[in-house]
Copies of this chain bind each other. A is one copy, B any other.
Amino acid sequence: MAGSRVAVIGLGSMGLGMARSLKRAGMDVVGADVSAERRAAFAADGGQVAESAAAAAAGAEVAVCVVITGDQTEAVLFGPGGVAGALPRDAIFISCATMPPRQAEALGRRAAEAGLRFLDAPISGGARNAEIGALTIMASGARATWEAAQPVLSAMGQRLFWLGEEPGQGSAMKAVNQLLAGVNLSTACEAITFAIRLGLDPKTVHEIISGSAGNSWMWGDRISALVAGDYTPRSAVDIFTKDLGIVVDTARANNFPVPMAGAALQNFLMAAAAGLGREADFSVARVYARLAGLELPKPAND
Find A200's partner among B173, B217, B251, B267 (CB 8 Å cutoff): B173
Contacting residues, chain B, for A247 (C-beta < 8 A) = 194
CB <8 Å contact, A180 and B191: yes
The binding surface of chain A is classed by DSSP as helix
Any B CB within 8 A of the CB of A148 = no
A residues 170-198 near B (Cβ < 8 Å) are 172-173, 175-181, 183-184, 186-188, 190-191, 193-195, 197-198
CB <8 Å contact, A254 and B213: no
* Nearest residue, chain B, Cβ from A211: B159
Complex formed: what's the CA distance from A198 to B195 in Å?
36
Contacting residues, chain B, for A173 (C-beta < 8 A) = 195, 200, 205, 208
Q: Give the size range of A's interface with the partner.
A: 35 or more
CB <8 Å contact, A257 and B200: no
A270 to B: closest C-beta gap in Å: 9
Which of A59-67, A113-121, A258-266 contacts its partner? A258-266
| Interface core residue of A101, A178, A208 (most chain B CB under 10 Å) | A208
